[in-house]
Structure 1
Amino acid sequence: MKAIVILLDSVNRHFLGLYGQALAHTPNIDRLAGRSVVFDNHWAGSLPCMPARRDLLTGRLNFLERNWGPIEPFDHSLGEVLRENGVYSHIVTDHYHYFRTGGENYVQQFDTYAFIRGQETDPWVSKVNRPARPAAFIGKYHPQYALNRTAFGKEDDFPSPRTLKEAAEWLEANKDEDQFLLWAEAFDPHEPFDLPKERLDPILTSYSGPEYMWPEYGVVDVPGSALAHIRDRYSRLLEMADHWVGKLLDVLDRHNLWKDTMVIFTSDHGYLLGEHNFMAKNYMPVYNEIARLPLIVHLPGGEQAGKRIQALTQSVDLYPTLLECFGIDPQLSCRNRLHGQSLLPLADGRTDKLRDELIFGYFGKNVNITDGEWVYFRSAAEPDNGPLHVYTAMPTTIGHAYGPAYIEDLTSVEAGRYLSWTEYPVYRIPGHVIKTKDQTQSFRQTGEHIKEHRLFHLREDPCQKHQVHDPAVEKRMMGKLTDCMRRHDAPAEQFVRLGLRADEQEGDFQ
Structure 2
Amino acid sequence: MRILLLDLDSLRPDHLGCYGYPRNTSPNIDRIAKEGVVFTNYYCSDAPCMPSRTALMSGRFGIHTGVAGHGGTAADMRRDGAIRGFEDRLKRESLPYVMREAGYKTATISTFADRHSAWTFNAGFNEVHNIGENGLESAHQVLPTALKWLEDNGQSDQWFLHLNFWDPHTPYRVPDDYGHPFAEEPLPEWLTEDVFRSHLQKDGQHSLKDMNELAKSHYSKWSRHGREIESYEDIRQIIDNYDCAIRYMDDHIGQVLSYLKRLGVLEETAILISADHGENLGELGIYSEHGTADQGTCRIPMIFRWPGGARGIINEGLHYHLDLGPTLADLVGARHPERWDGKSYADSITGVSGASDQGRDCLILTQCAHVCQRSVRFGDWLYIRSYHDGYHGFPKEMLFNLREDPYEQYNLAKERRDVCKEAVYLLNEWHDDMMSTMDSDIDPLWTVMKEGGPMHAEEYRSIKGQ
The interval holding the TM-score normalised by the smaller chain is 0.7 to 0.9
| Change beyond 3 A, Cα 1:98–1:22 | farther
How far apart are 1:103 and its partner, in Å?
Answer: 1.6
Match of 1:263? Answer: 271
Q: In terms of Rg, which structure is larger?
A: 1
Deviation at 1:346, TM superposition (A): 2.5
Q: What residue number does 1:465 align with?
A: 409
The more displaced of 14-23 and 306-315 is 14-23
Residue of structure 2 equivalent to 1:317 = 323
Q: For this pair of structures, how many residues does the alignment match?
A: 381
What residue is the counterpart of 2:257 in the other structure? 249
**TM-score, normalization by structure 1:** 0.68
SS in structure 2 at match of 1:10: coil
Q: Equivalent of 2:335, from 329, 333, 336?
A: 329
Partner residue of 1:508? none
- What amino acid is the match of 1:173? D
- In 2, Cα distance between equivalents of 1:241 and 1:46: 24
2:184 matches 1:240: no
Contact 2:280 2:290 in 1 (8 A): no
Using the alignment, how far apart are the partners of 1:496 and 1:176 within structure 2?
Answer: 45
Cα 1:226–1:116 change in 2 (3 A) is farther
Check conservation: 1:357, 1:484, Cα contact below 8 A: no
1:77 paired to 2:82: no
Residues 372 and 458, structure 1, Cα contact 8 Å, conserved in 2:
no
The 5 Å alignment of 1:433-452 reads 444-447=388-391, 449-452=393-396
Larger % of helix: which? 2
Q: Residue 217 and residue 168 in structure 1: after superposition, are their counterparts in 2 closer, same or farther (change >3 A)?
A: farther
**In structure 2, do the counterparts of structure 1 residues 56 and 234 end up closer, same or farther at CA, with 3 Å as the change threshold?**
same
Deviation at 1:494, TM superposition (A): 5.3
Structure 1 gaps of 5+ residues are: 122-157, 207-215, 381-443, 498-510
Contact 1:179/1:326 (CA < 8 Å) preserved in 2? no
Aligned partners of 2:139, 2:237: CA distance in 1, in Å?
21
Task: Report the Cα distance in structure 1 between the residues aligned to 2:155 and 2:135, rounded to whole angstroms.
Answer: 36
Q: Return the letter of the residue paired with 1:230.
A: I
Aligned with 1:113 (options 120, 124, 128): 128
Aligned 8 A contact 1:24 1:238 in 2: no
**1:458: Cα distance to partner?**
1.9
Confirm or deny: 8 A CA contact 1:70 1:105 kept in the other structure: no
- Segments of 5+ residues of structure 2 without an aligned counterpart are 80-88, 186-203, 210-228, 447-466
Segments of 4+ in structure 1 off by > 4 A? 70-74, 201-206, 490-497
Deviation at residue 271 of structure 1 after TM alignment: 0.6
Could you tell me how far apart the structure 1 residues matched to 2:275 and 2:158 are?
Answer: 24
Does 1:485 pair with 2:431? yes
Q: Separation in 1 of the partners of 2:174 and 2:205?
A: 20
Find the counterpart in structure 2 of residue 209 from structure 1: none
Partner of 2:325: helix, strand, or coil? helix
Query: Offset at 1:296?
Result: 0.1
Alignment partners' CA distance in 2, 1:473 and 1:307 = 31
- Residue 220 of structure 1 aligns with which residue? 208
> Post-superposition shift, 1:116?
1.7
Moved more, 21-30 or 46-55: 21-30
Structure 1 window deviating more from structure 2 (236-245 vs 356-365): it is 356-365
CA contact 2:139–2:249 (8 Å) conserved in 1 = yes
Residues 203/293 of structure 1: CA separation in 2 closer, same or farther (3 Å cut): closer
Instruction: Find the aligned partners of 2:19 and 2:57 in 1 and give their Cα distance.
Output: 26
Partner-residue secondary structure (3-state), 1:113:
strand
Residues 164 and 317 of structure 1: CA distance in aligned 2, closer, same or farther (over 3 Å): farther
What corresponds to 1:90 in structure 2?
Answer: 107
Rate the CA distance shift 1:457–1:100 in 2: closer, same or farther, 3 A.
Answer: closer
For residues 458 and 338 of structure 1, what CA distance do their matches in structure 2 show?
A: 29
Q: What's the secondary structure of 2:241's corresponding residue?
A: helix
Residue 293 of structure 1: aligned partner: 300
Which of 439, 464, 475 aligns to 2:421? It is 475
Change (3 A) 1:250 1:280: same
Distance apart, 1:57 and its partner CA: 0.2
- Alpha-carbon distance change, 59 to 496 in structure 1, aligned in 2, over 3 angstroms: closer
Residue 379, structure 1, aligned to residue 386, structure 2: yes
Letter in 2 for 1:164: L
Q: Tell me how far apart the structure 2 counterparts of residues 476 and 77 of structure 1 sit (CA, whole Å).
A: 34
Paired position in structure 2 for 1:170: 149
TM-score, length-scaled by structure 2: 0.74
Which of 156, 177, 199 pairs up with 2:178? 199
Over the matched positions of the two proteins, sequence identity in percent amounts to 27
Q: Which residue is 1:425 aligned to?
A: none
Question: Separation in 1 of the partners of 2:259 and 2:60?
Answer: 32
Contact 2:283 2:409 survives alignment (8 Å): no
Secondary structure of 1:239 counterpart: helix
Question: Does the Cα contact within 8 Å between 2:206 and 2:287 map onto a contact in 1?
Answer: yes
SS in structure 1 opposite 2:277? coil
Q: How far apart, in 1, do the equivalents of 2:273 and 2:267 lie? A: 17
Q: CA deviation at 1:72?
A: 4.9
CA distance in 1, matches of 2:169, 2:418: 39
Q: Distance in 2 between matches of 1:307 and 1:496?
A: 37
Per the alignment, residue 119 of structure 2 pairs with 104
Cα distance in 1 for partners of 2:288, 2:431 equals 27
RMSD, matched Cα: 2.8
* CA distance in 2: counterparts of 1:292 and 1:205, whole angstroms: 28
Secondary structure, aligned partner of 1:488: helix
